[in-house]
Chain A
Amino acid sequence: MEHSKLSAHRFRKGKFITPMNAVMSGIGQHDSWYHGRVPEYLWLGLILDHYGRDVGLSKCNLILKSLRKIAPEMVIPRLSSVFALDEKVQTEFYDCVLAVVPREVLCPLTCIFTYSHHPAFTKAFLKSDVSVEDRFATVVRLLKEISDHQSHLSTDIRFLVLYLGLLSGKMHMPEEMLLNVLEYPKCSHDDERMRKLRPTIRAMELAFREVGFNQDTRNKAYLQSFWKDVSRMGDCELFYLEFAEPKPDAKDYSERVKRILEYYAELQGAANPIDNKMLVLLGIATYSFKRLSELVRHELYHEISGRGIIRVLVEDYIMMKYLLKNEADRSDIWSEFQSYGIGQYKIIVAKWRDSGKDLKTSHVAYEYMSILVNEHMDEEFLDMDTSYFDKQPIRLKAEDVGEKELYSLYYDYDSAFEHGLWGAIRESSLIKCNSSVHQYHCVPDIEDRQKLKSVWHDCVRVMDMTLGILEGIYGLRTSVKDGDNCAED
């Protein structure tokens, strides 16, 4: 299925609304095929599964006809409706079932519907020499098989549901459609006509499900109890994605970056130690390098922390470009940038002072921050700007310097990890369980099995772009660029 383009969405109050949701409301879980109907029709599935399609359908035909006679008011062959019958009537029906199929066919259900709540059913179908585990395994296998509402087995079950509706006389349809329905059991699934018949059956069953649904609170209680029991019985089947890659040759690359930055630092000290612009640019680049070094040293390529690192590298690079682009229009953008950052520190220090708290064991070194705040200027003369630097969020800065794509394809994604948003939590900290009885839920990845795609290649690319800025301004000697390799040449 092709997904809608972003441009096809409607943007309303800061939200992109999908084209589908713009015109219709969501489908409730209680009447979905898997959650809401499979538990009701599982018994029919067991008969079909045991005998195969042809024999299974004809056995079900006999059983549904008996049901029609014993409980004429029943329109849909829901197990919850059967359980709601008087115990004597239930026993009568179960005897009819047992006249058509042996007890082992429906025996798997006795691990869910036990004696204290379903005595008649248990007495009819229990075979205690089949272990609870084996009975449950059959249920799980079948649930998995019919979890797809379009599978052949699911469609056969849906046909049987319709069939009782027809027998009850409460379901009416045009003659042509009726002929189609009656044709269904006679055709094999390989028959070309089934390409049309199967969707017809499914569509009709979907429409038919509404009969008596809203009034039937019994059905909801049944579903709740069914899923609660089977989910408790089943074990999780966890799976996660492997993004294993050969370890990058990170050491060589880090050494190269280090060599280049050492060269610029030496150059600054030698040529112009008090050049503020160079200090700011080198400071930003060094900060990126230090984060990159952490990535390498602690091998964080596939970790959540790695996402924080690439995000900073992107932001640093955009900021460098932004400062350079706006340099000409301002008297001293470099000092402004420094004052903005130190001003942020001053806010924190001021709040700490106001709190009157000691916080000695905090990771924030408030006393030291206070010294930094007063490093070049008495803090009494230092303003504090509570908005973004230059009043622009990073998104606008990225657009301003022609790096919109870097922002929208990388920075935004990595921000989800830094802010602990659900997408990032789902990707990194939850593992999918493939168990049908757990309805494919997620479980917390406490064991840290799920690794993420490596950030290494993107880090290298952005770091190279950062170094490219410095090279563009200050140049780079080939001897430094190529290191020892050049000397050997």
Chain B
Amino acid sequence: MGTIVPKTDLLGTESERLQEQYGEVLRKGFAGAAKGDWEAVIDEIKTFWYTNRRLVDCILGHMCRPTEAYAFTAATYMNVADKDHYPFVALGACHFLDDPICRLSQMMGEGAKDQFRDQARELVVKAIGYNIEIIEKYSSAILILPIRYLAQTDTELIQRLGTQAFLSMFSRDMDMEQYYSKVKTTGDIEKELKPGMEKNFIFSEDDDTSLSLQKRLDEYRAGIVLPFERDVSDGTVFWFALYGYLTQALEIMMTCLQYRVVPYIRYSVAARYLLMLSRNLADDADVRFMVFRAAVAHILHRSFDKTKIETIEFEDYCRALVESSFSANVFTELESAGVTLDSLDVSKTVRIIKQNLDIALQRITAK
């Protein structure tokens, strides 16, 4: 588990120091944000990570075996009040929380609309609060690192691949310029989409694919704050939603492959797009391994019964997972049961996870 940070190794000591210093920056930043010093607070966080970028690389690269490292990513924050950290640490040996603050701060930039900026600020404050709590209470198990912010992913490549993936859903060969001129209404989208394609994508966790595309799109539009005027065409909103998810999934995939960490994705929409894209890279062993582990982690997250750990201390919980070899047993049993990326049997996976979790938790109650 990430709970064991040996005092005698420099990397362990440095990672502890890094978290402590970041905690200090965040505590002062929290107070500064309350005083309205947004610009300076965000700038300091960015500077902090820039200064320590090589150490972050070193931690991601060497803290534990690549197959055993999980990164909580594609989320605005980790909700520790809702005990998100319990399922997160269940699989693997090292757990990194992809710091959302730098990413959120990009949404607060110059061009952003006031409402959008205010919402981003609210999220930043929330994320700072949760980050402080994680550092103060759980830093022995979870390290906060700005994984996606510092990853040297090729933005242009991601944008190109995202556009390519988006346009590949349409029957007609076209570029984005042609898309904007031809696809404006929902009717245009339906006319141009490949047959059956409308069931493949979702707009949100609550998206009901049995409804009409117009209704689904209207609900999506009503439920979010768009970074542009509300009267933009359905075609633009459709592009905004899907292109955002696709590029996010591509970025997660490329970043996690770069550091060889498994993405732990809480949000089922992001997990779905990751699985969707990974099908295009079916021959790559690293991708297959990473996506399989990410899928198992996502299933664990969705099926995790938090009522079972309500009264259990986090440290006891972590210790029980290690002592019962929870993670290793889950993957051994999945292999024996023939569960693979190609035959991802969700109910079998849930059963194996639950059985092993019960065994681990029994150790605590037995004591």
Contacts and interface: CB of A to CB of B under 8 A. Distances in A.
Interface of A: 110-111, 114-116, 119, 122-123, 126, 128-129, 132-133, 136, 229, 232-233
B285 to A, nearest CB: 27
Contacts of B44: 114-116, 122
A128 B37 contact: no
Given A114-B25, A115-B37, A115-B41, 6 more contacts: A110-B43, A114-B40, A116-B25, A119-B32, A123-B40, A128-B39
A115 B40 contact: yes
B contact face: mostly helix, strand, loop, or mixed: helix
A119 B40 contact: yes
Nearest to B32: A115
24 contacts: A110-B47, A111-B50, A114-B25, A114-B47, A114-B48, A115-B29, A115-B32, A115-B40, A115-B43, A116-B24, A116-B28, A119-B37, A122-B40, A122-B43, A122-B44, A123-B37, A126-B43, A128-B43, A132-B43, A132-B46, A133-B50, A229-B51, A232-B55, A233-B50
Interface in B15-52: 24-25, 28-29, 32, 37, 39-44, 46-48, 50-52
Most buried by A among B32, B51, B55: B51
A94 to B, nearest CB: 13
A135 to B, nearest CB: 9
B29 A128 contact: no
B54 interface: yes
Contacts of A110: 43, 47
Contacts of A128: 39-40, 42-43
B110 interface: yes
A232 B53 CA distance: 8
Nearest to A130: B43
Contacts of A229: 51
A136 B46 CA distance: 13
Interface of B: 24-25, 28-29, 32, 37, 39-44, 46-48, 50-52, 54-55, 110
A160 B29 CA distance: 35
Listed from nearest, the 6 A-B pairs whose CB atoms lie closest are: A116-B28, A115-B40, A114-B44, A115-B44, A122-B40, A132-B50
Contacts of B28: 115-116
A115 B41 CA distance: 6
Contacts of B110: 129
B109 to A, nearest CB: 9
A232 B51 contact: yes
Nearest to A114: B44
Nearest to A228: B51
Given A119-B40, A123-B37, A132 B47 contact: yes
A369 to B, nearest CB: 40
Contacts of A111: 47, 50
A444 to B, nearest CB: 15
A110 B37 CA distance: 14
B365 to A, nearest CB: 44
A245 B119 CA distance: 64
Contacts of A136: 50
Most buried by A among B24, B40, B110: B40
Given A115-B43, A122-B43, A126-B43, A232 B37 contact: no
A438 to B, nearest CB: 12
Contacts of B43: 110, 114-115, 122, 126, 128, 132
B150 to A, nearest CB: 12
A481 B155 CA distance: 68
A232 B41 contact: no
Nearest to A123: B40
A386 B320 CA distance: 61
A232 B52 contact: yes
Contacts of B55: 232
Nearest to A230: B51
A255 B46 CA distance: 64
Contacts of A119: 32, 37, 40
A126 B39 contact: yes
A128 B51 CA distance: 16
Contacts of A116: 24-25, 28-29, 32, 44
A60 B272 CA distance: 60
B318 to A, nearest CB: 31
Contacts of A114: 25, 40, 43-44, 47-48
A448 to B, nearest CB: 21
B51 A233 contact: yes
A132 B46 CA distance: 8
A115 B35 CA distance: 12
A295 B43 CA distance: 57
A128 B108 CA distance: 12
Contacts of A232: 51-52, 54-55
A238 to B, nearest CB: 14
Nearest to A122: B40
B27 to A, nearest CB: 8
Nearest to B41: A115
A123 B29 CA distance: 13
Nearest to A236: B54
Contacts of A133: 50
